Structure 1
Amino acid sequence: MAEPDLRAVTPDLRSGARPGGPVHELLAPRETALGGSTVVRRLLPNLGRRMVGAWCFVDHYGPDDIAGEPGMQVPPHPHMGLQTVSWLHEGEVLHRDSLGSLRTVRPRELGLMTSGRAISHSEESPREHARLLHGAQLWVALPDAHRHTDPAFEHHAELPVVTAPGLHATVILGTLDTATSPGTTHTPLVGADLTLTQGADLRLPLEPGFEYAVLTMSGRTDVDGVPLDPGSMLYLGTDRRELPLHARTDSSLLLLGGAPFEEHLVMWWNFIGRSGDEIVQARNDWEKGFRFGEVHGYDGARLRAPELPGLPLKARGRVR
């Protein structure tokens, strides 16, 4: 594929940057149990920031040594109003859903589930699995025009790449440079896995109308001059045409970006809606066995929905 355009960028706007322009905002993770022996670092939604483009949820997990352990075990649970993106660097995840899909997702393969109006699925490490598990689970909010679409699951084992000296970039969703992922999108966005060799020093082309964030999967990299360690995520704002990257070690990053998502959302548990009443109805439907279908083949009970909060659920924008 074509190499990134390495032409000079416009002047750095951080000094006196206008609202919505380039920023450096380090998002601190919080740890939570995902299932089995898997503990994740949750980076979105975060205090002060709920979204990056349509990306509204980011969990980073591993690398975990799961030899002799069950690994990831997430029982059947529902989704609506979003897409899930399963992305692995090490290990495998077995996906089952209420459409009847059964697929093992492996490193650098795209598992993309569009919930639309309603779906349920489970995720687990296969019985016979690799020693290490390392990856990210991401959600993309569906815009109002597409959130009631039919549910679907896509698996893409081959994805386009962009290369340059010291860089190998796999395009997960959307377009980077001249490469476009086959994954279905409903808003302008990009997701890319960047592998950098130690000493790499380059500028990655960006879309100035997008906002961006970078998650460090492994290694140590300077992103626009900010040193990042594994598990950290840097929000970069908008109005960037290129992004300077310098790899202190062999490194892997996830680049997430998209047009700022202007719709207000209610996000609760595994549901995204536009009103508290929609969320209440979805919870009731799941608990009563309506609408979300059934996942066959998972060895265990499905998840029960948590209790609703005492206060009304209100729609909120992309920034808290």
Structure 2
Amino acid sequence: MSNVEPSPAELRCADRAPTAADDGPAVEILTPRDVPLGGPRAITVRRTLPQRVRSLIGAWCFVDHFGPTDVAVSGNMDVPPHPHTGLQTVSWLFSGEVEHRDSTGVHAFVRPGELNLMTGGHGVCHSEVSTGATTVLHGVQLWVALPDAHRGAPRDFRSHVPEPLDHRGATVRVFLGELCGSRSPVPTFSPLLGAELLLPPGTELALEVDPEFEHGVLVDTGGVDVAGESVAEAELAYLAPGSERIALANNGRESARLILLGGPPFGEEIIMWWNFVARSHEEVVEARTQWEAESDRFGAVTGYSGRTRRLPAPQLPGLPLRPRGSAR
């Protein structure tokens, strides 16, 4: 998904992660901000990452959470061809269907319970359009920052449908990494964890996790306790490295659905602006200039027939991109 804010903030993202032994609460609650994607009938997403207090969770650098949205009221999702550099996009739906086309030549449909992962290292472009079969659109769009050694990775696209497994009453779908004895076959450029968990009412469990990872728990529906802290719908709970288990409890009357993200602290500074992940102001300027010039760097999307041929880049700020915040 594109970040279609008309004036996207620049973020220089440092990665000093606390550990479980640091002073302060074990759980840090990140609240979302609403961001409209598109025009007057825009779909509004809830963005919990990045923000001023935290930029990264492992290599996860962007978390958008949207829906459930009745497209008859809001209008369909229609994101014209747009570029990416230095990252991977991870699409995961709970309901609805999105048609994906990209400059690798892939034409695919994003469906509930199916991972779609696109690599845009050196450069890629793609479009996303909700299909006519969609009545309610609901899901998450995630970005992964590529480590410096792999920022020039070629375009790629992978899909995977993880088998659901029962883990002490919870239903778990592991789409990246490993959890509860289930491992995703999809390769990544840095160690990652991505999973959906469905917790029926009354479910309590202690998930065994890698203590080298920091983790984020995004609550989609319901409310849960994470390590003893109450986390409401649309909030993201951050947990520092150092713990071998994450305690989860659904004390409500309805099922709760969560997205669990994780990875070791990224260890690199990045600059995020619009749809680019870079290391310097000059890199961002170059990528923007090449996109506007329709450079071969990004390729082209074929078959898209939306209202706009391609998404123009916003204007850069008047000053060089400077630090706007960092992980504590």
Note whether the superposition's TM-score is higher than 0.5.
yes
Residue 208 (str. 1) matches residue 219 (str. 2): no
Structure 1 residue 67, shift from structure 2 partner: 3.0
Structure 1 residue 276, shift from structure 2 partner: 1.0
Number of the residue aligned with 1:311? 319
For 2:303 and 2:288, the matched residues in 1 are separated by: 23
For 2:70 and 2:265, the matched residues in 1 are separated by: 37
> Which has the higher relative contact order, 1 or 2, with Cα contacts under 8 A spaced 6 or more apart?
2
For 1:301 and 1:183, the matched residues in 2 are separated by: 32
Over the matched positions of the two proteins, sequence identity in percent amounts to 49
User: 1:134 aligns to what SS in structure 2?
Assistant: strand
For 2:31 and 2:264, the matched residues in 1 are separated by: 23
Q: Deviations over 1:85-108 (max 9, x none)?
A: 000001111111111111111001
For 1:317 and 1:218, the matched residues in 2 are separated by: 29
Q: Report the RMSD for the aligned CA atoms in angstroms.
A: 1.9
The residue identity in structure 2 corresponding to 1:89 is F
For 2:81 and 2:312, the matched residues in 1 are separated by: 9
For 1:22 and 1:152, the matched residues in 2 are separated by: 40
User: 2:286 aligns to what SS in structure 1?
Assistant: helix
The residue identity in structure 2 corresponding to 1:211 is E
For 1:237 and 1:257, the matched residues in 2 are separated by: 10
Number of the residue aligned with 1:144? 148
Number of the residue aligned with 2:128? 123
Structure 1 residue 162, shift from structure 2 partner: 3.9
The one of 84, 87, 90 aligned to 1:85:
90
Residue 109 (str. 1) matches residue 114 (str. 2): yes
Structure 2 CA distance for partners of 1:294 and 1:17, relative to 1, 3 Å: closer
For 1:20 and 1:92, the matched residues in 2 are separated by: 44
Structure 1 residue 17, shift from structure 2 partner: 5.2
Structure 1 residue 23, shift from structure 2 partner: 2.4
Structure 1 residue 273, shift from structure 2 partner: 1.1
Count of aligned pairs: 303
Maintained 8 Å contact 1:39/1:61: yes
For 1:83 and 1:98, the matched residues in 2 are separated by: 14
Q: Deviations over 1:167-223 (max 9, x none)?
A: 011001111132111222111110110011111111111111100110001112111
Number of the residue aligned with 1:263? 268
Q: Deviations over 1:229-260 (max 9, x none)?
A: 22111111111111111112201000011000
Structure 1 residue 160, shift from structure 2 partner: 4.0
Maintained 8 Å contact 2:53/2:325: no
Residue 153 (str. 1) matches residue 157 (str. 2): yes
Structure 1 residue 20, shift from structure 2 partner: 8.7
Maintained 8 Å contact 2:27/2:226: no
Q: For structure 2, which runs of at least 5 residues remain unmatched after alignment?
A: 1-18
For 1:107 and 1:59, the matched residues in 2 are separated by: 16
Maintained 8 Å contact 2:201/2:255: yes
Maintained 8 Å contact 2:82/2:311: yes
Q: For structure 1, which runs of at least 5 residues remain unmatched after alignment?
A: 1-15
Residue 46 (str. 1) matches residue 51 (str. 2): yes
Query: What is the TM-score of this pair, normalised by structure 1?
Result: 0.90
For 2:256 and 2:66, the matched residues in 1 are separated by: 16
Maintained 8 Å contact 1:262/1:318: no
For 1:145 and 1:315, the matched residues in 2 are separated by: 23
